[in-house]
A = this chain, B = another copy of it.
Amino acid sequence: MPGPPWWYGRFQDAGYRLTLPRQAILGTLSRTSKHLSAEEIYLSVHRAYPAVGLTTVYRTLELLVRLGIISKFDFGDGRSRYELTTSRQRKHHHHLICSRCGRVIDYTDFIDEETEVLGKIERVLSQKYNFRINNHRLHFYGLCDKCK
């Protein structure tokens, strides 16, 4: 039996209300593995709750990013894209991006190996540059099977 989603608590703790628009937006993001843009999320939410406006979607996304519940990405197509942060449901992964058609493939191969190397790098860079590193992002660019 699945308990309440893991992010329920964070709202109360931070003093925010888990309103219907917010739940709808989180619902949409939970139900997909795609990298949705604000407008795509708006359209999806709008189908079920026509009262919810695009402004609220933007505001909610910003809040969710701030709470660490979702991550914001830029794949170079002029709009930001969002996905649930790594958790039990969402494995840590990186992205393969097709420079031509913009397709994005998630991959989880090598994550352990990567994590080890990157972790080591993070430790030394933190020291050397007196930087507190919170996370990293690794993108591979190229041409997907259809485009090459």
Total count of chain A residues near the partner, CB < 8 A: 38
A140 proximity list for chain B (CB < 8 A): 121-122, 125, 131, 133, 135-136
Q: Does A62 contact B (CB under 8 A)?
A: no
Once the chains bind, are B128 and A109 in contact (CB under 8 Å)? yes
Which A116-130 residues have a C-beta within 8 angstroms of B?
Answer: 117-118, 121-122, 124-126, 128-130
Residues of the B chain whose Cβ atoms lie less than 8 Å from the Cβ of A11: none
- A89 interfacial by beta-carbon distance below 8 Å: no
Q: Compute how far the CA of A124 lies from the CA of B134 in the bound complex, rounded to whole angstroms.
A: 28
Q: By the criterion CB–CB under 8 Å, are B134 and A141 in contact?
A: yes
Which residues of B lie under 8 Å from residue A135 when comparing CB positions? Answer: 140-142
Tell me, in angstroms, the Cα distance from A22 to B116 when the chains sit together.
Answer: 43
Query: What is the bound-complex CA distance between A141 and B144, given in angstroms?
Result: 28
Let me know if A99 is at the binding interface, CB within 8 A: yes
Q: Roughly how many angstroms separate A141 CA and B137 CA in the complex, as a whole number?
A: 8
Interface residues of A in 91-148 (CB under 8 A from B): 96, 98-99, 105, 107, 109-110, 113-114, 117-118, 121-122, 124-126, 128-145, 148
Nearest residue (CB) in B for A122 is B140
For residue A40, CB closer than 8 A to chain B, the reply is: no
Output the least CB separation between A137 and chain B (Å). 5
